[in-house]
Every structure is written in C-alpha cells, then in structure tokens.
Chain A
Amino acid sequence: MPNQNSPSRYGAVAQAFHWIIAALIVTQFTLGWTAQFLPLGARKVARLDWHKSFGMTILTLAVLRLLWRLFNRPPELPAGMTTIEKQLARATHALFYVLLFVMPLTGWMMSSAKNYSVSWFHQFTWPNLIGPNEQAFNLLRTTHDTLSWLLFALALLHILAALKHHFWNKDDVLKRMLPFTKTEK
C-alpha cells in the first residue's frame, strides 16, 4: 500500500492517522468518563494524568494529520452520492477535525485554569495556556464535557455511515480506509 492517498483509497499514512487517533479517542472516553465518578483522590489524579498525556498526543497527531491532509487530497467520494449526501459527509469530517483540536485544547485550558499543569507521560510539562481561574475552569469543564457527547454522537454517525456504505450501497467507502483490502479502479 502506498503512503500517499490515491484517487480510489487512503494511503498508509492517512490510515495510520485515522486508526491510531480512533484508538486513542476510545481510550480517552474510557479514562475521561470513568474518572468523573472517582472521588477526589490519588486514583483520579493518576487516571486524569493518563487522560492528559493521551490528549496531548491526539492534539499533536491532529496537527500532523491536518498538514498531511492539506498536501494530500483524500480520495473522491463515490459518484453515486447526491450533492446533499456529499455535503453532509464533508461537514461531518470537518466537525471531526474541529473536535480533534477543540477537545484537547479545552482540556489543556481546564488543567491550566485549575493550576494542574499538563505533563506528557512525565517526560516534560506543557506550558499553561491561562492562569488559575475557578470560573474559567467551570466553564471549560462544561464545554469539554458537552463536546465529548457531541464527539460520541458524531463517531456513532460516522461508524453507522461507513457500515451503510459497505453493506447497503456496496461501495468502497469503508474498504478504502482499511488496510489489507483491495479497492476497484
């Protein structure tokens, strides 16, 4: 499989970005949502420590992924799709990219506002984006939490759409993002 995208499928780099970030997002939901139910204590601090390190990893990968995408156009959507379907698909993907940045950034700002600086796997510390501020923290936490539900809904829509394309429309939309598969053309 070539590294670059072709007109009919995603290349190895785009696929790696997609699946690694997807796996990290699943990890983030598990860590973030379960941490909420822990009492304030060492276990919660430790779980959020992982959540922050993975979050900053996603932010870094999102920057690289966006750059890769800007210089490497994705394959064309299937010819059979209507204009509205194509616009919806593009809007969904654009919103994904927005969330890939906004989720880590609001999380990073939350940590800064609470004066809990973000470490990257205990290797180095990211600078604080804003100063300690309780009101800002509360607002950011609500935003981060609300957007996590939006991201969850979007991911569900994304998965259902991929399955619909594969089993209903019987096109290459799912296969072109899967390694070890062949696409026509």
Chain B
Amino acid sequence: MKKLALAATSSLIIAAATAAAATAAAAADSAASFTAAAEQSRLEFVGVQAGAEFKGVFHKFTASVEFAPDALASSRIDVQIDMNSVDSMDKDRDTTIRSKDVFDVSHDPTAHYVTKTITKTATGFAAAGALTLRGVTKDVPIEFQFAPAGAGAKLSGSAKLNRLDFGVGQGEWKSTETIADAVKINFSLVLKPKT
C-alpha cells in the first residue's frame, strides 16, 4: 500500500515536471506581436549640414514587432518608412531631400528595415538587420531598449549609418564637407498588441 502510494506520487511529479517543461518551451517559442501606434511613435534622423546638426522626422511609417525578451530567436522588428513623409522643418531642404539626388522618392518611395538576429546586451538589446534605402540594401545594426507597459510596450533606440553607402547624395550632394556622411537615427515606438 505504501509502495503504491509512493509510485503514484512520483509519477505525478514526473507528469507535472513534464507539463511545466512543455509550457516553458511553448513560451520560449512565441514572442508577442505588436504594431507601433503612429501618433505616439517617432522616427528621427540627425544629420550634419555645414558643420551643424539638424533633425528631421518621418511622419509616416509602420512597424510590426514580434518580441519577447526570453524569446529572442523568434523576435523580429520590421519597419516600413514612407520617404515622402520626411520633415526637416524647412520646406526648401525637404524638397531637396525628396529629389532624385538624395532620396529619389518618386523612384523609391519606401525604405524598409528588418532585423535578422537580436541579442541581449549589458544595457538592453542589439539587432543585426538590413536596411533597404534608395534601392540599396545594407546591414545596419541597431541598439534598443524594450520596456513592457500594460498590454503593450515601448521600444526605443538608435542606429548609425553612412548615407553614401546607400547612394543618398549624388552629384553636388556627395560632398561630405557640406553634408556629413554619418547620420544618426533615433526611434521611439509605442507598441500596441496586434489585433
């Protein structure tokens, strides 16, 4: 009788342990799905013109994010940017930026960024990803923080890229004396659960 009870208990423990492991495995495989809320999210670039920094934003972009800090293998950030929505707070400069020599928006109206791998760092997360801009695809790493907030989250971070890698700036705009090659990108996405 005692023997039987012991056997039953141990099999119960094994069953419970197996179930728990299965649950954990399921969680590790599924990152939560989000989309960025357009009005509260911000995608900003900082360039250097004539030795002085200037900021601009893209008003229109969509971001689809699959993310869980414990499921990085299945996490992914995918951003589509409407290049026509560029705003550097000066109409003359915006016209130049949209022109053939710079973004060439009539030919390439959309830029696309998608991560390949995401890893944990001391301060947050880092991702290797590919940016397609002006028809050229190059690797651009990003660094970001992920802060859950209710059902959603806030994803904010930065990247650095060289505009000439993508051919942004042809002809007279190639000169890095007038416009520096290095451009900083800052983003702050307010994520809502995907419905």
Taking beta carbons and an 8 Å cutoff, which residues of A are in contact with B? 40-43, 45-46, 48-49, 52, 114-123, 125, 132, 134
Docked CA distance A117–B49 (Å): 9
Docked CA distance A50–B175 (Å): 16
- Pairwise interchain contact B178-A46, C-beta atoms closer than 8 A: yes
How many Å from the CB of B15 to the closest CB on chain A? Answer: 66
Q: Judge whether B27 is part of the interface by a CB distance below 8 angstroms.
A: no
Docked CA distance A114–B93 (Å): 9
In-complex Cβ contact of B173 among A42, A116, A125, A132 (8 A) = A42
**A116-B50, A117-B52 provided; 14 other pairs, C-beta below 8 A?**
A41-B172, A43-B172, A45-B49, A46-B178, A48-B50, A49-B50, A49-B178, A114-B90, A115-B54, A115-B88, A115-B90, A116-B54, A116-B93, A125-B52
Docked CA distance A115–B175 (Å): 21
- Pairwise interchain contact A118-B52, C-beta atoms closer than 8 A: yes
List A contacts of B90 (CB < 8 A).
Answer: 114-116, 132
Q: Judge whether B89 is part of the interface by a CB distance below 8 angstroms.
A: yes
Docked CA distance A42–B54 (Å): 16
Docked CA distance A46–B54 (Å): 15
Count how many chain B residues have C-beta atoms less than 8 Å from C-beta atoms of the other chain: 20
- Pairwise interchain contact A117-B53, C-beta atoms closer than 8 A: yes
Docked CA distance A46–B176 (Å): 11
How many Å from the CB of B158 to the closest CB on chain A? Answer: 20
Docked CA distance A43–B177 (Å): 11
- Pairwise interchain contact B92-A119, C-beta atoms closer than 8 A: no
Q: Find the B residue at minimum CB distance from A123.
A: B51
List A contacts of B53 (CB < 8 A).
Answer: 117, 125
Q: Judge whether B96 is part of the interface by a CB distance below 8 angstroms.
A: yes
Q: Find the B residue at minimum CB distance from A114.
A: B90
- Pairwise interchain contact B52-A119, C-beta atoms closer than 8 A: yes
List B contacts of A40 (CB < 8 A).
Answer: 92, 96
8 contacts between A and B (CB under 8 A): A40-B92, A42-B173, A42-B178, A46-B175, A115-B54, A116-B54, A116-B93, A121-B51
List A contacts of B50 (CB < 8 A).
Answer: 45-46, 48-49, 52, 116, 119, 122
Q: Judge whether B2 is part of the interface by a CB distance below 8 angstroms.
A: no
Docked CA distance A107–B54 (Å): 17
**Given known contacts A41-B172, A43-B172, is B54 in contact with A117 (CB within 8 Å)?**
yes
How many Å from the CB of B91 to the closest CB on chain A? Answer: 7
How many Å from the CB of B180 to the closest CB on chain A? Answer: 10
